[in-house]
Amino acid sequence: MIKNNKVKILITLMLSLLLTGCLSKHDTFETSVGSDTPPSRYNQVGVHDPSVVKGEDKIFIVGSHLASATTTDYVSWQLFGQGVQNGNPMIPEVQIDMKEALEWAETSTFWAGDIIQMKDGKYYFYYSVCEGSQPLAAIGYAVSDHVEGPYENKGIIMKSGRVGKLLTYEPDRLIQYDANIHPNAIDPTLFYDENELLWMVYGSYSGGIFLLKIDEDTKMPEAGQGYGTRITGGKHTRIENPYIIYDKDTAYYYFYASFGGLASGDGYQTRVGRSKDIEGPYLDSKGQDMDAIFDIAKPFFDDDAINPFGSKIMGDFEFINSSHKKMGHGYISPGGGSVIYDETLDKTMFVFHSRFPNRGEAHEVRTHEIYMSASGWPVVAPIRYSGANFTEMNTDISGQYQFIRNEMVIMGDISISTLLTIENGVANFNGEQAPITQDGNFVSFKLGNVNYEGVSLKQWDVRQQKMVKTITVQG
């Protein structure tokens, strides 16, 4: 996403399987605007599946394997704790306190969890444990007066993976567990709806992603819901790490999830759907109900079944230089993310982990801003957040861009940059020309059969050590 006096662009192509056969895409742009005072220095941490929450005086993330980190600016992170072992400051005696959950799941580690500050001012950590090769898992919760802990375990709220009485909030219900239709009890996220009612979205592979209403007095799901309402997935399709956030400006609920496998060659990526109703249906930008993925007649782990669904906002990419050589600059399997609206900054942040070209399974936390297009679809800033990002009204976006096209597939080649030129208000790509319309910081154009909408920005490019113009759009 760079340019030397040029512009950078990240475009995600989504191949729609609607009857119309149309294409849907997500694009971002960038151009140099000269040197400015550099932002805060980056400090990296490796927290897989980071879930973000604001504490008393810090921003806190917790991820898989009870890894956690803090920051005050989303730029410089400090590792706080790591490992499901006694002495972790979040839960100093975790192997003792969480013994019941760990034994049920036949594991020694934690998977993705979530922290929420409830109306009583306390912080609640909803954790998950899982055996891994099967959906033998449990979700429980713990409480603390401080975001970083120490947390006191309050016990398991649900289990999965075996036939039995699996729901603590419905103690008399016997469940004939079926992994094709019932969820894997992992990856919980807690959030408030527009009416300040509490919900939990959770699940992974197995029977899909589910939604439950939570009783804020008991901190448990309300009785009578069973495992809840399915949002998407099922039949072991590779969708996990769900996150829902309400946007009061657009009046939509946005459902984010990671598609694919988390390893560097498994195509992990982030997609989104939205709904006016908390319980769905959640539609992608092509108007498809994301729950239409489910088909009991289809085979297990069917990536072809999920390829067409969801609006893809982040996937594998790498840039090449002027000599057409790969630069090792890009993301591999970005996902496991969470989204937070920071009222102090008046910004929406997407905090996720990513692997990188030529670095194997090493991963680090990244933060990018999310903006809304004129039609209310999330678009992700092409460069990581530096503390210096801002929208720019009626910016001249002329220049030569590096152009990334991420196909709507789970497993495929890494998207490599090509060139797109914008001159005199017209975008030129592979012989196609597309007039660009600007309205304040909103940008729109049509390329092929696809209409794009997004916003223009300025961001700090750490490799060039200067501010650059960017545009991020989706169609």
- 318 part of the active site: no
| Residue 339 backbone dihedrals phi, psi, to 5 degrees | -125, 135
What residues contact 189, with CB distance under 8 A and at least 6 apart? 51, 114, 126, 200, 201, 202, 242, 243, 244, 338
- pLDDT tens-digit map of 364-409: 999 999 999 999 999 999 899 998 667 666 678 888 877 777 778 8
Per-residue exposure over 46-56, b if at least 16 CB sit within 10 Å of its own CB, e if not: bbbbbbbbbee
- 302 part of the active site: no
pTM (2 d.p.): 0.92
Q: Please provide the size of the chain in residues.
A: 475
Helical (H) or strand (E) element with 152: strand 152-160
- pLDDT tens-digit map of 336-372: 999 999 999 999 999 999 999 999 999 999 999 999 9
Domains assigned to the chain: 7-37+389-474 (2.40.128.10), 51-380 (2.115.10.20)
Average pLDDT, the chain: 88
Residue 37: its pLDDT value, please? 54
Among 30, 148, 240, 453, the one annotated catalytic: 240
On whether the CB atoms of residues 167 and 135 are closer than 8 A, the answer is: no
Among 27, 30, 49, 187, the one annotated catalytic: 49
Regions in the chain scoring below 70 on pLDDT: 1-40, 322-324, 388-389, 391-394
On whether the CB atoms of residues 422 and 435 are closer than 8 A, the answer is: no
Dihedral angle of Cα 6, 312, 246, 154, to the nearest 10 degrees: -120
Q: What pairing do the DSSP bridges indicate for beta strands 415-416 and 317-320?
A: parallel
What is the SS3 string spanning 298-317? CCCCCHHHHCCCCEEEECCE
Residue 39: its pLDDT value, please? 60
Residue 322: its pLDDT value, please? 67
Q: What does the DSSP assignment read for 103-133?
A: HHTT-SS-EEEEEEE-TTS-EEEEEEEE-SS
